[in-house]
Amino acid sequence: MRCISRARSVALIGVTTVSLFAGGCIGRKGATPVTEYELKNYNQNLYQGKLYAEDLCVAQNDVLLEGYTEDTDLHSAALFDLTGENVLYAYKAHERLYPASTTKIMTALLAIENANLDDLVTISGNADASSFSADAQVCGLEKGEVWTLRDLLGALLLYSGNDAATAIAEYVGGSEEAFVNMMNRRAHELMANDTHFMNPHGLHDDNHYTTAYDLYLIFNECIKHEEFVDIIQSELYTAHYTDAYGNSQETEFLPTNLYAQGEAEVPENVTIVGGKTGTTDEAGYCLILMEKDFSDNPYISIVMGASDKPVLYEDMTSLIEAIPSGQQ
């Protein structure tokens, strides 16, 4: 299905924001008369910024996909063809849901955009692993340790450490509260308008939510950064840090997604680049992935709210298997 437009915003220099509506798809591969008018009249020197749906796809309603059997027990699922700018599948893609640790893709994005990944970060008491509940996923950070921001990103994206998320938030934002404000501003800039963050890690809060489509918008921005892709495609990440006593230490992180671990079989029609898992009691089991077909065309697949881990990977595998293989 080609793009169906939603409200899009163009920033007027030093003045205000103009909201526009148009039908059809905004993109390189053709435009309706209305979108042609937009591109002609709202791409002048008076305006800055890109039209909302340019290079993106939007589906207002569910989109069926041949070869994929819909699982209505899921809260939401979607599949996006980034090259063709198509929504190949959408099931409740605009329904607000709890994202769990898929939240951390926004945390990573802000770190990459706003700091030097070689910066040194001193772990605070708030980011100490002992400050989290016993059942929370943590990397074991301790107050007084010194890590590079890059290695904290490895701990965040591969091992999904909640302590790493707090350490990154405090360093990049100055405080966790200020960083959360940055997260919400960035979500708004990406037109992820059904998203609201309350923390940098995704531990449950009733007011912390997103949608499958908004996750696509955020993840699509993340994978534009080589540093992000390098980390999510790692099968093992080795981090080097200094402990609170000044001693050099080393630790390793394995990815949490079962495809990377070799515990879930990768469909033969694609290569899985990597992604992010998320799990809480309230969110269920969630997974967002980037794949490439044999022609190196990228896709983003999302499953949210699976009842358990086997169901999550069964549904994700079925969704990925419906991707056209391209040419070998």
Beta bridge partners of 81: 86, 299
Catalytically active residues are 101, 104, 160
As a whole number of angstroms, the distance between CA 302 and CA 281 comes to 18
* pLDDT tens for each residue of 154-202: 999 999 999 999 999 999 999 999 999 999 999 999 999 999 999 999 9
d(CA 146, CA 107): 19
Identify which of 181, 191, 166, 209 has the alpha carbon closest to the alpha carbon of residue 76: 209
Q: What's the pLDDT at 54?
A: 59
CATH 3.40.710.10 in the chain, residues?
63-328
pLDDT, residue 166, reads 98
Strand order in the sheet with 86-91: 86-91, 76-81, 298-306, 284-292, 271-280
- The whole model's pTM is what? 0.82
Please state at what angle helix 176-189 crosses helix 162-173, rounded to 10 degrees. 90
Q: Name the 3-class secondary structure at 120.
A: strand
Please give the pLDDT value at position 38.
41
What pLDDT score does 7 carry? 36
Q: First-to-last CA distance in the chain?
A: 25
* Residue 83 Cα distances to 15, 121, 160, 179, 313, angstroms: 35, 37, 29, 32, 25
pLDDT in tens, the chain (328 residues): 333 333 333 333 333 333 333 333 333 344 444 344 344 443 433 333 444 455 676 666 666 666 666 665 668 999 999 999 999 999 999 999 999 999 999 999 999 999 999 999 999 999 999 999 999 999 999 999 999 999 999 999 999 999 999 999 999 999 999 999 999 999 999 999 999 999 999 999 999 999 999 999 999 999 999 999 999 999 999 999 999 999 999 999 999 999 999 999 999 999 999 999 999 999 999 999 999 999 999 999 999 999 999 999 999 999 999 998 765 4
Q: How many residues does the chain have?
A: 328
- The pLDDT assigned to 43 comes to 40
Instruction: Write b or e for each residue in 56-73: b if 16 or more Cβ atoms lie within 10 A of its Cβ, otherwise e.
Output: bbbbeebbebeebeebee
In whole angstroms, what separates CA 243 from the centre of its chain? 31
Give the Å distances, CA to CA, from 70 to 74, 154, 280, 303: 9, 34, 23, 11
- Top-level CATH class of 63-328? alpha beta
What is the DSSP annotation of 144-213? T-EEEHHHHHHHHHTS--HHHHHHHHHHHHSSHHHHHHHHHHHHHHTT-TT-B-SSSS----TT-BB-HH
pLDDT in tens, 118-150: 999 999 999 999 999 999 999 999 999 999 999
